[in-house]
Structure 1
């Protein structure tokens, strides 16, 4: 073990992982401790070292002993003597626990080790430090950036070792062996560390740092050409895999992916490295790399006893759990649903008729009565409206396909340069959505696409790239926004990003001077302005355009019905991109995806830190400390109160606490212009604290405001709490949210606050806690009329009926038939122990409509739970027969017994022995 303390030769102008790595290569020992006083520099060195092979770098934390591996050399970065002593003590007695495929190993021994290492046993492994056991399957998620592992045992033999994806829970890659972690004190250390206190002398090599090219692409290209002629190997490090093709096209040198923050020239080895930092002339924002993005919620694993379900035949009831019953010596798993006047047990093979009921938060839900015909009347009306709506959608879709719009061709040279200058790594969601938009723009059809993505997921960059594509094709773009402040922010962002391009951007709002306004109107008419950003002022009848091609509407749901109608009349043939932060339910996306242009932006930015959330009783000292902390780091504070009446008292309290701070206040009864001016002043830095009712400008980034205090938080709905928290922590600084309440609050309020505290990760609004917003999102797309009957039958049931209506109108028949099962078809407790996961698989199986879907489910069960037992095989058989019967009009019902099948058809009853091939039955039917 070597300990590096004389670090000047490594640093030079910047902390450099490359210089550190080269210094390490001159050392004989396998492992090194690097002692740094500035841990932020340590994190940069960690990421840069890990971009190269040879060493695995780790900054010190409480799980350091679980991160060290014997498979490669380790660099451990510590910041003080205490951490140094702790690491030395651990490593003096560390041995590594390896597992090989095919070896004999007692599973119980591994489980004991995991418990000893403080791993948490869970039902589903999604985060580092967790493990799960399902029969002979062991899932482990190690610390230190490793991928999660799945070990399959048969008795005491290791059958296989696989890496799996924590999102899908599916295996992705086999391994022959794996090192789990170091075990302290189990035996004499085999790590062979040698401890040396310092390195004498300077580094045996010299590294030069690169010049900042300040976005001058030609100058950088010239330097690369010069170095190549001098015999240098030239590399360019890209921060994200999605940018590699852009840089390859622009720079004509070898592109590598890695977290290298500062380029360098290494004359000894004739190596030159450039990074995005030099190209753009600004420091790339270093994301704090997180190991997960929040708690993943599967469709039915979050269903709890007491939640509302809706059955197609019986209506809305309460879920009372899974219940195994026995009839005529045959075991069945059933979904137990409680109604106003009775209980119904639904066999799991009929689970497809059941959906979760999603209504608006706080609404009083009427439970159906089995003896009453009211549900049948509601259902009939909803079915009729659903068919009408499906016909409207198909009609609009057909019209759009016939009409011809503009074609916007790619301009790679300019577009790649623009993408390369984006100071973040694009998310998978952004790349996917841009591909969908560009596919629309490159086709002759008129684009009308809605992009839905939670706050902070990157919609602004999507709008900018779309407008840029239009501009380089000589078409003008309108970016329509609901408020002056949002117009100002978009204008600032667009002008900054497009400063080096032949694209003219202008803003029209009440802030625009009359003389400047006249010049802008003239520029639009003459084609001298390419992109105009503004509010309702852009809908004036006297504005004319030279060659308008694209309309982008941001926060579309905030425009009134009259505004939307005016937009449709004024711009009937232009391509339209609509942006909303209201979550659009995935099930609606799946139902309408083929006929409605929806894009879901559901990938969080990589590594952005979650907002730290505190829930507790109101305390002046907590308020004081929270504000003081934010002000000391040069930040600003939101203070939200639920009522206008308490605003002035809060302002007075804060003025007494902080007499030197600038405090502003705002509420909804102020004139619109006055209110906007207050927010603009806060945005521009005129206030340190803004006290307001919950009307904080949606869609706008307040980069300096990273603490929000919400008073009387118990009075807010879940969706509102989530959105208020989303106002902070959207930049490089960590955000803090304080939800303060009186001493006594209702159980329902406690439940809401508990959920908001638990699901604090970015993106959790798409996973849970946002059902109220999902219903708003459905209403936004479907319209008020549809929104009404969606509430009647529930969101999920509406989507199912809509999907079925669309399929039938397109000529695809799939009508579920009456199926009676007289054989044991269920998931045994010892195969899937956890009830919620069992429930999830029952739902997936019952909803399967094709052989391909069944095969994927079979593969998932084999992968996650091991060999499939006979009772589960019987479930698959039942579903195959169910799919067959649904696709055949002549079949009215089926009875599935242990040895025979009975089909009720138009011609009468047909009996078959079990074991006949499904293809034979399909041909017969």
Structure 2
């Protein structure tokens, strides 16, 4: 087992730091280094420390959160816990005690001293609770490490220890308890059981993990009280078929429903207490969320915005360049920082921080290297114009389709029934907020009079199929038939299994139509379809054949529409002129695109995985066949299956042979994209049906496969894959209540970037934790799927972020100009449009005094002040640039105050240069709100540039009147009104020379008006 520093050495190393204590600052830094702590720019995990100015951050192993120690000279001024992810302080504490890093690998610590077991740190009267002893201890340690403790609670110890541990001398704690009964989602059985317990005067608690689940179960039980089950309903539900009506009512008010849960329910008969869990009632997996020691998770979402030297960037006006860092430039007598960009031919541009919003990190399909732009010549503007025109053409077609659909009449489905609620309640996972919202949106569409055309987007396993099952069931309850169209036989088999299993408690006839069914079976299915006996038909493009006739189809569900050919798409369009259509896709669509296309297509995004999924245990390893054999054997012995992924086809066959040699009972099969399509489908279908147990394949499994029984994936040469590919591949496992494992095998030579990718994936064990970063490449593919594949070329030419901006502009222009009347009509018809039109007299007056300005460029503050973040305040260039970006992108003074508070917390009190920078940004925010174009503070002149449009609402505002009044009445200052016929400029002469005095003049003469308007 793992060895630690001996107890005596650790005890002697314990050190105390508390408020008001005098500790030499440099001495503490030296002590931390000698005690096995590692110095870094920022604390990322236990065992780290960092130093910034008079602040030391430290994360001892004995603490759950890291601690920030702020000094004044050599005196401790404060000790604060802080959040490792945000790096912000959480609360002030009196002090901490800590010792050497227990697992230190520091050279100053003798290896012979690291030889102790953790149990040596415990006193003899410790109550020890051991969970999973087979994991915690080896057999030799049983008596040595445990038998000296008098009080032991061991989970399942008899199975493991047998007679090896003398338990006669141990105290035994007995609980006369029973487990919660298994109800197998049968609410009638639960209702009857609760009735019996209430008759025995038992106290009953039903625990759910959130309020929504509690309310839903309460409603379902109350419905069983209030309604007799009709013959039709009894026939629909297989549990109730042929049963008598429910007559035994229960008093819901005598049951306490709590919005918190345990892993398992129990009954204590002696105490007359029953505690049930809602997830066990429905056979749903539950995972207790534990408070764990946090660890900084490698690459964060902020790194999408942060720039490193040499990164490709996109400047909106100049094009693609390389980032060369922050450089100091001379402005008047002072220094400021600017962003240096290098273009094709070595030409450089220094970008003033006022224009930092025009710079974005270049993002495109993973691995693509862009071409640097050439300054001048107009080529960059031509590319942007071409992209905009193409996007507008596509958006125009989408809007016209949307308008046509809204004007058509479709079938109006009934509101939810008791059976609909019961189906949704017995889903094995809890709904995520995204999934719950998507379900509501789909059902609302179905209940409206217009034909639904909604796209539900979410990664495989994120719950979009469940949304489709619920929609299909809603259709069946209104005696409508449902067609589920999928691009491959594999997907058809998967969906058939899912729909059949979910709807098995209800008398719903689900059938599958692919080439796997015999001609006789197909004939029987088609006959039953035409007579209405088949409720739901799942199949490939075979469904689109002329001989497939529905009695009364009401809903069409299409999975991965973009994977169908042109002819198949034409047949789909003819099939759905006015029936409700639900389309599913596993390729993520960016939220920004969703907002842009609002009104042009109905989109539901499911970006979060089921929250009760177990995180996938991920491990980086080197090629070791003994270890691989162990991994495969473990998975197969627990009844599971394995993916073995390799990056090249030629090595698949030798790998399969080697697996067969190492694990004789393994049944490996090969799968790759160059196989005959029918052979590939047969292989995967056999794997799904468990006739094979190891699939040796390429990354062909990256998307589309959802096999809950596969819970181990081994990825060979993992360092050769991109981050999003690794995220997608690992996501193929962990789709059931079983613990899933992912093993990333690295090749011999590995680059630093590849190491970073593998570490990031290893640390993103929580599903969805790295989704914003690792899904970026997938989102770019999603744009292509929604707007057409050719758009991917524009994304590569101008970068993802600028392309998204162009879409936003293009759609806004169409809505404001070409389709303004159309969207006005839609707004007038919306349910809440009337409430929007009712405005009180006071609100109306307030609106007149406010200046309502359309979105425009931020105001420029041109100045020669010493306003910057010095390197000795924030040493790290990337962090400094990130702070500059956040400052210049701030839109409200509250955001500014938040950043100020963070900087003081993390880096210490402000220097005068930083204070000046904040004052300038504050003025910029107010000026932008008003619509001012520029304020210039150069030498002894302050110039204010007003909007060029004479119709701008600024000129009618109280602010403008006050400025004119000040100019007219203040005779002590020199004011000059100048500018061309298009633009008003007010100049103010100041006699001050220092930065502080000039800023004060601006605030007194002008900013007072800004803040009072």
Tell me if both proteins adopt one fold, taking TM over 0.5 as the criterion.
yes
Q: Which moved more, 1:333-342 or 1:604-613?
A: 604-613
Give the match's secondary structure for 1:614.
strand
> Could you state the TM-score of these two structures normalised by the residue count of structure 1?
0.76
Aligned position for 2:206: 236
Residue from 972, 982, 985 that aligns with 1:909: 985
Q: Map 1:334-733 to 2 at 5 A.
A: 334-340=338-344, 341-388=346-393, 410-411=415-416, 413-438=418-443, 440-441=445-446, 446-472=451-477, 474-589=479-594, 591-592=596-597, 596-606=601-611, 608-614=614-620, 616=622, 623-624=628-629, 626-696=631-701, 698-711=703-716, 718-731=723-736, 732-733=738-739
Aligned partner (choices 735, 738, 742) of residue 736 of structure 1: 742
> Following TM superposition, by how much is the alpha carbon of 1:885 offset from its aligned partner in structure 2, in angstroms?
6.2
Give the equivalent residue in structure 1 for 2:957. none
Shift, 1:813, TM fit: 4.3
Q: Assess if the C-alpha contact under 8 Å between 1:290 and 1:609 holds in 2.
A: no
CA distance in 2 between partners of 1:548 and 1:528 (Å): 12
The answer to whether 1:217 aligns with 2:187 is: yes
- Cα distance, 1:352 vs. partner? 0.8
Cα distance between partner residues in 1 of 2:507 and 2:213: 22
Counterpart for residue 323 of structure 2 = 319
Distance 1:229 1:142 in 2: 55
* Deviations 1:153-190 (CA, angstroms, capped at 9, x unpaired): 888677796775x666677xx7675896777999xx99
SS in 2 for 1:826: coil
Pick aligned residue for 1:305 from 289, 309, 316: 309
Stretch of structure 1 that moved more, 305-314 or 711-720: 711-720
Equivalent residue of 2:302, what SS?
Answer: coil
Moved more, 792-801 or 632-641: 632-641
Question: 2:205 is paired with a residue of what secondary structure?
Answer: strand
3-state secondary structure, aligned to 1:236 = strand
Q: How does 1:121-270 map to 2 (within 5 A)?
A: 197-198=150-151, 203=173, 206-239=176-209, 242-251=212-221, 252=252, 253-270=255-272
**2: distance between equivalents of 1:596 and 1:872?**
46
> CA–CA distance in 1 between the matches of 2:897 and 2:812?
23
SS in structure 1 at match of 2:365? coil
Distance 1:518 1:581 in 2: 32
Residue 322 of structure 1 aligns to a residue in which SS? strand
Assess, with a 3 A threshold, how the Cα gap between structure 1 residues 194 and 516 changes in structure 2: closer, same or farther.
closer
Residue 234 of structure 2 corresponds to none
1:300–1:493 CA distance, 2 compared to 1 (3 A): closer
For 1:724-803, what aligned pairs fall within 5 Å after superposition?
A: 724-731=729-736, 732-739=738-745, 741=747, 743=748, 762-763=767-768, 766-803=771-808
Higher mean C-alpha displacement, 498-507 vs 592-601:
592-601
Q: CA deviation at 1:678?
A: 1.0
Aligned-pair distance for 1:148? 7.5
- Distance in 1, matches of 2:412 and 2:807, equals 32
Q: Which moved more, 1:542-551 or 1:225-234?
A: 542-551
Native 8 Å contact 1:287 1:608 kept in 2? no
Give the deviation of 1:920 after TM superposition.
4.1
CA distance in 2 between partners of 1:877 and 1:748 (Å): 40
- Judged with a 3 Å threshold, the aligned counterparts in structure 2 of structure 1 residues 611 and 261 are, in CA distance, closer, same or farther, namely closer
Matched, 1:329 2:371: no
Distance 1:61 1:178 in 2: 33
Query: C-alpha separation between the residues in 2 aligned to 1:110 and 1:472?
Result: 72
1:430 deviates by: 3.2
TM-score (ref. length: structure 2): 0.70
Does the 8 Å CA contact 2:36/2:101 hold for their aligned counterparts?
Answer: no
Deviates most, 364-373 or 876-885 = 876-885
**Aligned equivalents of 2:479 and 2:62: distance in 1?**
50
- Shift in Å at residue 847 of structure 1? 3.5
1:363 is displaced (CA, Å) by 3.2
Gaps of 5+ in 1: 1-59, 66-85
Q: Given the superposition, is the C-alpha separation of residues 660 and 909 from structure 1 closer, same or farther in structure 2, using an over 3 Å criterion?
A: closer
The worse-fitting range, judged by mean Cα deviation, of 393-402 and 527-536 is 393-402
Maintained 8 Å contact 2:893/2:922: yes
Alpha-carbon shift at residue 315 of structure 1 (Å)? 1.0
Is there any run of 5+ residues in structure 2 with no aligned partner, and where?
Answer: 103-120, 128-148, 152-168, 222-251, 817-853, 949-981, 989-1000
Distance across 1 between alignment mates of 2:214 and 2:62: 26
Measure the CA separation in 2 of the matches of 1:652 and 1:843. Answer: 55
1:494-537 per-position Cα deviation (integer Å, ceiling 9, x unaligned): 22222223544332222334444445445545554443322222
Aligned partner of 1:827 among 851, 863, 869? 869
Which shifted more, 352-361 or 820-829? 820-829
- SS state of the match for residue 309, structure 2? coil
**2:702–2:725 CA contact under 8 A, matched in 1:** no
Task: Give the one of 270, 279, 287 matched to 2:281.
Answer: 279
- 1:670 is displaced (CA, Å) by 3.4
Q: Relative to structure 2, which stretch is displaced further, 222-231 or 510-519?
A: 510-519
Deviation at 1:409, TM superposition (A): 5.7
Separation of aligned partners in 2, 1:112 and 1:729: 45
C-alpha deviations, 1:587-632, integer Å up to 9, x for none?
Answer: 444554676544443334446333524354x565565455445445
Tell me which moved more, 521-530 or 154-163. Answer: 154-163
Question: Does residue 839 of the first structure (1) align with residue 873 of the second (2)?
Answer: no
For residues 428-480 of structure 1, the C-alpha deviation after alignment (integer angstroms, 9 at most, x for no partner) is 44345445545555555554443333344333333333434444455543332
Alpha-carbon shift at residue 690 of structure 1 (Å) = 2.8
Contact 2:370 2:797 in 1 (8 A): no
- Residue 130 of structure 1 deviates from its aligned partner by 6.5
Which stretch has the larger CA shift, 202-211 or 222-231? 202-211
Provide the C-alpha distance between the structure 2 equivalents of 1:134 and 1:402, rounded to a whole number of angstroms: 63
- CA separation in 2, counterparts of 1:520 and 1:140? 68
Give, in angstroms, the shift of residue 326 of structure 1.
Answer: 3.1
Task: Give the drift of 1:314.
Answer: 1.5
- Could you tell which deviates more after superposition, 807-816 or 789-798? 807-816
Residue matched to 1:895: 936
Q: Secondary structure at the match of 1:695?
A: helix
**Aligned-residue CA RMSD in angstroms?**
4.7
Question: C-alpha distance in 1, partners of 2:908/2:399?
Answer: 44
**Alignment check: 8 A CA contact 1:615 1:753 kept:** no
CA 1:628–1:272 in 2, change beyond 3 Å: closer, same or farther?
closer
Deviation at 1:723, TM superposition (A): 3.2
Task: Tell me the alpha carbon deviations over residues 759-815 of structure 1, each in whole angstroms, 9 at most, x when there is no partner.
Answer: 666436634355443321221122134333222111111112333444455554424
Please state how far the C-alpha of 1:317 moved relative to its aligned partner. Answer: 0.9
SS in 1 for 2:504: coil
Change (3 A) 1:419 1:134: farther
- Residue 492 of structure 1 deviates from its aligned partner by 1.6
